[in-house]
């Protein structure tokens, strides 16, 4: 029976930038880091995880770390296009009471020298789709196990295994059980990053057998009886990892509450002494108004004339009247409740009859929101435009040509749209949740500070009132331009985040030395 007792500390969180003060026996030596993510841009992407996995390793490599990546080779990942070479034709991977063969292909993360290995198995990953539903438990357990077996085959001993979301959550479990006596992993620490608690990887008992940990049973927690009967892979990552983090300091606090914890808040509270929040970054080369090929006229914070050209270009493309003093509100994202689309629709219904504004809605999602925003366009064709698809080039033009980016999210672990918008000098209007409140400073005209507009309550009137405040601020051209320049000067690069992860990894190595004592919270 394996168990733990939560170790209480006076400071339950380390915010980005504060981590260095908590790290014990920290050195500057480069680390050997294995990065496990089911999606890596540009090879496979369904959400923000892929963007993180495609950018953070490059920034860590620039800090001098020996970082290597392992992901599945899905059917759409073309060997010739990415110049992948087979380095292990046959790798025997334990899967339940048998072994299954994998092939391993090697390449590099584009624009870097970061090695990336692809686990190939036709039965499990031959489909071009990244996710297949019920089959995913076996698929990602196989991939995770193949990753560890590949390290043994290569005799490469990692200091850190960085696991992302439920797909890799079994790895910290194995490091404390199946591989605990393996010499290769004797000093390896695990970091587990939660990108989205909504998707936890919940499956039946057979998965314990496939993973080879049936003898350890379910997680037994007095406040979580539902875990006694199902295999919740994310909960196992949280339970076993040396360090846990999520993608913003505020969200790290939020997930300790029932409102945001998705049923795992008691377990997260028990582990709060090892729970941290580090903000995501953005690719500042990809999102750079000074060198963006999708813009008619590039621009910088020192010369904003190109932003006015981008606005005129966007107005023309949207069949709006081309007029510089009409503010453009823009929404880019999924059309669903979590993104605050109900608040957005209701606020626009209040704004449009009485204010001269232009509105662009870009995204896909629930049909009812497609219909609701389409009805607004039909009612106000001269100033509302809907784009129910996603175009990268047009998104860049919207970031550059808009004045205000709307993000009224009910939940937003980090968010990147608000970071991109600031990079392009478009002021975000956001609800105070997750990474939004960590990255947008409310504009205050009296002391001339702020990079956007923030409202607290998830209510239509709160959003509407903040839109009115933004419109009033827009009338003061000098003050608005000053806020635009402040926003463009913010550093949201992955380089900043990489330094914080460097500190987190060293904290994990120290934390690994403190083994959890037995207690009533147990695996049995």
pLDDT tens for each residue of 114-164 = 999 999 999 999 999 999 999 999 999 999 999 999 999 999 999 999 999
Dist CA 15 CA 250 (whole Å):
9
pLDDT at 338: 95
Whether pLDDT at 4 is above 60? no
Question: Is the bond into 87 cis (omega within 30 degrees of 0)?
Answer: no
Contact 255, 261 (CB under 8 A): yes
Residue 209 lies in a domain: yes
350 and 233 co-located in one domain: no
The predicted structure's pLDDT at residue 1: 27
Q: What is the mean pLDDT of residues 502-512?
A: 94
pLDDT of residue 514: 66
Residue 311, token pair as written in the block: 């606005």
Tokens of 124: 């499990």
Same domain for 442 and 406, yes or no, is yes
Q: Is residue 292 situated within a structural domain?
A: no
Q: Are residues 172 and 84 in the same domain?
A: yes
- Ordered alpha helix ranges (H), 241-304: 249-254, 258-261, 265-270
For residue 503, tell me if it sits in a domain.
yes
Same domain flag for 263 and 370: no
Which residues span the domain enclosing 415?
A: 305-492
Q: Give the model confidence (pLDDT) of 84-99 as tens digits.
A: 999 999 999 999 999 9
Residues 6+ apart with CB under 8 A from 408: 339, 340, 343, 344, 347, 429, 430, 431, 455, 458, 463
Query: Looking at the domain assignment, is residue 337 inside a domain?
Result: yes
518: in domain: no
For residue 341, give both structure tokens. 């689309």
CA pair distance 454, 423, nearest whole angstrom: 18
**To which H or E segment does residue 401 belong?**
helix 392-401
222 and 312 together in one domain: no
Residue 289 lies in a domain: no
CATH number at residue 83: 3.40.50.2000
Render pLDDT for 346-379 as a digit per residue (tens, 0 to 9).
Answer: 999 999 999 999 999 999 999 999 999 999 999 9
Indicate whether 19 belongs to any domain: yes
Rounded Cα–Cα distance for residues 456 and 461 (Å)? 11
Please say whether the beta carbons of 486 and 1 come within 8 A: no
* 397 and 466 co-located in one domain: yes
CA 203 to CA 506: how far, in whole Å? 33
What are residue 385's DSSP bridge partners? Answer: 360
Q: What is the pLDDT of residues 6-46, one digit of tens each?
A: 232 333 344 433 444 344 444 679 999 999 999 999 999 99
Residues with Cβ within 8 Å of residue 231, at least 6 apart in sequence: 137, 202, 203, 204, 205, 207, 208, 218
**CA–centroid distance for 145 within its chain:** 24
pTM, two decimals, is: 0.90
Structure tokens at 394: 């047009």
> Rounded to whole angstroms, what are the CA distances from 245 to 3, 236, 385?
21, 14, 39
Q: Is the same domain home to 481 and 507? A: no
User: Are 389 and 315 within one domain?
Assistant: yes
Lowest-pLDDT range of 203-207, 219-223, 341-345, 430-434: 219-223
Residue 158 contacts residue 32 (beta carbons within 8 Å): yes
Cα–Cα distance between 436 and 431 in angstroms, integer?
Answer: 7
Same domain, yes or no, for 90 and 114? Answer: yes
How many domains, in total, are found in the chain?
Answer: 2
Same domain, 341 and 439: yes
Is the domain of 486 the same as that of 500? Answer: no
25 part of a folded domain: yes
Q: Give mean pLDDT, residues 185-202.
A: 95
pLDDT > 90: what percent of the chain? Answer: 85
Q: Verify that 245 and 380 share a domain, yes or no.
A: no
CB atoms within 10 A of CB 303: 11
């Amino acid at each position: 029976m394996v168990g733990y007792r939560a170790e209480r500390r006076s400071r339950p969180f380390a915010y980005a930038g504060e981590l260095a003060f908590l790290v014990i026996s920290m050195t500057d030596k480069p680390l050997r880091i294995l990065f496990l993510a089911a999606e890596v841009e540009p090879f496979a992407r369904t959400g923000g995880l892929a963007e993180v996995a495609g950018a953070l390793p490059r920034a860590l490599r620039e800090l001098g770390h020996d970082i290597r990546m392992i992901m599945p080779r899905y059917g759409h990942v073309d060997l010739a296009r990415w110049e992948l070479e087979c380095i292990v034709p046959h790798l025997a991977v334990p899967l339940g009471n048998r072994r299954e063969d994998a092939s391993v292909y090697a390449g590099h993360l584009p624009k870097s020298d970061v090695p990336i290995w692809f686990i190939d198995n036709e039965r499990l990953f031959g489909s071009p789709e990244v996710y297949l539903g019920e089959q995913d438990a076996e698929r990602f357990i196989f991939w995770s196990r193949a990753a560890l077996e590949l390290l043994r085959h290569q005799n490469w001993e990692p200091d850190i295994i960085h696991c992302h979301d439920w797909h890799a959550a079994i790895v910290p479990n194995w490091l404390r059980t199946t591989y605990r006596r393996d010499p290769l992993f004797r000093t390896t620490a695990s970091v587990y990053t939660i990108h989205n608690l909504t998707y936890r990887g919940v499956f039946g008992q057979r998965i314990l057998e496939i993973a080879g940990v049936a003898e350890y049973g379910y997680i037994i927690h007095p406040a979580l009886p539902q875990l006694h009967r199902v295999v919740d892979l994310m909960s196992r990552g949280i339970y076993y990892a040396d360090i846990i983090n999520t993608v913003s300091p505020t969200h790290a606090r939020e997930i300790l509450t029932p409102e945001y914890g998705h049923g795992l808040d008691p377990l997260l509270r028990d582990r709060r002494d090892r729970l941290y929040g580090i903000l995501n970054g953005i690719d500042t080369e990809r999102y750079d108004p000074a060198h963006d090929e999708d813009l008619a006229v590039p621009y910088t914070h020192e010369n904003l004339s190109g932003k006015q050209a981008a606005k005129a270009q966007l107005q023309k493309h949207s069949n709006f009247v081309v007029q510089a003093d009409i503010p453009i509100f823009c929404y880019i994202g999924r059309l669903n409740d979590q993104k605050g689309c109900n608040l957005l629709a209701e606020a626009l219904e209040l704004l449009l009859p009485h204010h001269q504004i232009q509105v662009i809605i870009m995204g896909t999602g629930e049909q009812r929101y497609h219909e609701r925003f389409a009805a607004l366009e039909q009612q106000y064709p001269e100033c509302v435009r809907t784009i129910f698809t996603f175009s990268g080039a047009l998104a860049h033009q919207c970031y550059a040509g808009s004045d205000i980016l709307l993000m009224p999210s009910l939940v937003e672990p980090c968010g990147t749209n608000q970071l991109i918008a600031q990079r392009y000098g478009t002021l975000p209007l956001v609800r105070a949740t997750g990474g939004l409140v960590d990255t947008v400073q409310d504009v205050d005209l009296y002391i001339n500070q702020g990079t956007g507009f923030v409202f607290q309550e998830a209510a239509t009137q709160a959003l509407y009132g903040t839109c009115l405040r933004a419109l009033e601020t827009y009338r003061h051209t000098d003050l608005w331009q000053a806020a635009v320049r402040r926003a463009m000067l913010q550093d949201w690069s992955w380089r900043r985040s990489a330094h914080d992860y460097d500190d987190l990894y060293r904290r994990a190595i120290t934390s690994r030395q403190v083994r959890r004592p037995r207690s009533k919270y147990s695996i049995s």
